[in-house]
Structure 1
Amino acid sequence: MSYCVNCGVELEPSLTECPLCNTPVINPKELYQTKKLSPYPKARGQVDVVKRKDLAILTCTVLTATSLSCLLLNLFVFSKSPWSLFIIGACLVLFVLVFPAMIYTKLPIYISLLFDGVAVGFYLYMITFNTASERWFVGLALPIVALATILVEIFALLLRSFPVSFLTTALYFFAETAFFCIGLELLIDHYLDAPLKLVWSAIVLTVCSVIEVVLLTVLSRRRLRDAVRRRLHF
């Protein structure tokens, strides 16, 4: 025999609620048999991934708005010098850098790197409008950009043509670093009308040559190569 917990009236065994006050009749034993429900959903939620197209539109909008705003400010407010070319050139370089990753992903890596070099060269050319002469651009900046672009293209070609590993990548990197430093010093000497000779780049060449010999030795000996990989965890 059971009684209502609210009004104390006697209840029939088959009743599910009190006929007097409509209080639900709960069997205490059923409380232990019911499973506790978690307030959190079992299904794992996931935030919608930002689409590449939407990100590209946002990036282009920001870069375009920045360029136009600086151009208008330069034309109508701060018009003493064409300073907006610095901002416009930087936005152009950023656009060229993100173009293959967001807008046209099928663009070959060699074409993409070439466009990067052209964009940097064009940016440096825009700087000439704020300088007294273009000699530094033609005699120094443009050759350095061309040298760097060629070396980066060769680096990408080596990575795509031969097996890639940490050791081979380091081998290519130090070799191109030596060539770049040599070319940079020779271009600077030529621009300054100084005798063409290696000074500081010879030190870089010596260090890179030692590293190259070590890497070639490791790559040519399988046991040594495997031991280095195990110890460096790559």
Structure 2
Amino acid sequence: MRCNNCGVELEDDMQICPLCKTPVSDALTVPASSMPGADIHSLLTPERMTHPQKKFTWEIVSLILLCSAITTLLVNFIINKSITWSEYPVEICCIIFCYISLFAFSDQSRFVKMMLGLILSSFCIVILDAITTGIQWSIVFGIPLLVISNVVTGGLIFAYRKARYKGINLIAYTFLGAALLCLFIEGLLSVYQHHVLRFNWSIIVAACVLPVVIVLLFVHFRLKRGRSLEKTFHV
């Protein structure tokens, strides 16, 4: 049911409206299905993009990536008279291009798209690394980082899809995934640069994120109103 005063969806055991503090009674509430905003979940859930929309979005993003890569290369070459640091942002642009192209035009499953994106992205960074400074960091650091990023992203997607209640637990999962990614990044960097596994700043990040994750999951599983983002934030 919903509050007849402000339209907020109410739990069955609520005595007053949490937003406007109006007492809940039969006279002041109406079924949620009869309110104008009853179909809010369908409104908040985006529809699948059509093929022309995907193509148009792909063209815009590709143009932005191309302009960014060219600008970065020119600035680097003008300042340093050679291609040095611009190699990394250009490779990031190539990785993004590989993934958006697959997700825009491929009809395969999401898992297959991510695997193909991993293969194409790995090929791109090896080629660019070989062209610029020779194959140095792409094999030892670049490809392992791509694999780990795909695993973390795939795990988050799986958790989102399998979550029975899509509430603030999704925020907790995202924080947890980001903390794990930070740990893996520093671990790979330490092995690549110092040939030893060492953690410094990523431990601090994980230690700061872990209490937040615990609190969010506690609120989600303890309080009913925390199980829906729409109800939690009165959308």
TM-score with structure 1 setting the length = 0.57
2:108 is matched with 107
Residues 59, 214 of structure 1: alpha-carbon distance in 2 compared, 3 angstrom cutoff: closer
Q: Are the equivalent residues in 1 in contact too, given 2:94–2:124 (CA < 8 A)? A: no
CA-CA distance at 1:92 after TM superposition? 8.0
What amino acid is aligned across from residue 134 of structure 1 in structure 2? I
Please tell me the root mean square deviation across aligned C-alpha atoms, in Å. 4.0
> Which range moved further: 151-160 or 110-119?
110-119
1:156 is matched with 157
CA-CA distance at 1:136 after TM superposition? 0.7
Q: Are the equivalent residues in 1 in contact too, given 2:187–2:197 (CA < 8 A)? A: yes
What amino acid is aligned across from residue 99 of structure 1 in structure 2? L
CA-CA distance at 1:94 after TM superposition? 2.4
CA-CA distance at 1:54 after TM superposition? 9.1
1:176 is matched with 177
Structure 1 unpaired stretches of 5+? 1-49, 71-80
2:33 is matched with none
Inter-partner Cα distance in structure 1 for 2:54 and 2:224 = 47
Inter-partner Cα distance in structure 2 for 1:192 and 1:216 = 37
Q: Are the equivalent residues in 2 in contact too, given 1:175–1:208 (CA < 8 A)? A: yes
Give the count of matched residue pairs.
168
Inter-partner Cα distance in structure 2 for 1:194 and 1:88 = 24
What amino acid is aligned across from residue 170 of structure 2 in structure 1? T
Q: How does 1:44-123 map to 2 (within 5 A)?
A: 52=51, 56=55, 94=97, 96-101=99-104, 103-104=105-106, 106-123=107-124
Residues 164, 109 of structure 1: alpha-carbon distance in 2 compared, 3 angstrom cutoff: farther
SS in 1 for 2:173: helix
Inter-partner Cα distance in structure 2 for 1:51 and 1:145 = 29
Q: Are the equivalent residues in 2 in contact too, given 1:113–1:152 (CA < 8 A)? A: no
| Identity %, equivalent residues | 16
SS in 2 for 1:192: helix
Inter-partner Cα distance in structure 1 for 2:120 and 2:145 = 14
> Which range moved further: 219-228 or 172-181?
219-228
CA-CA distance at 1:164 after TM superposition? 5.0
CA-CA distance at 1:91 after TM superposition? 6.5
CA-CA distance at 1:107 after TM superposition? 2.0
- Structure with higher Rg: it is 1
**Bigger relative contact order, structure 1 or 2 (CA pairs below 8 A, ≥6 apart):** 2
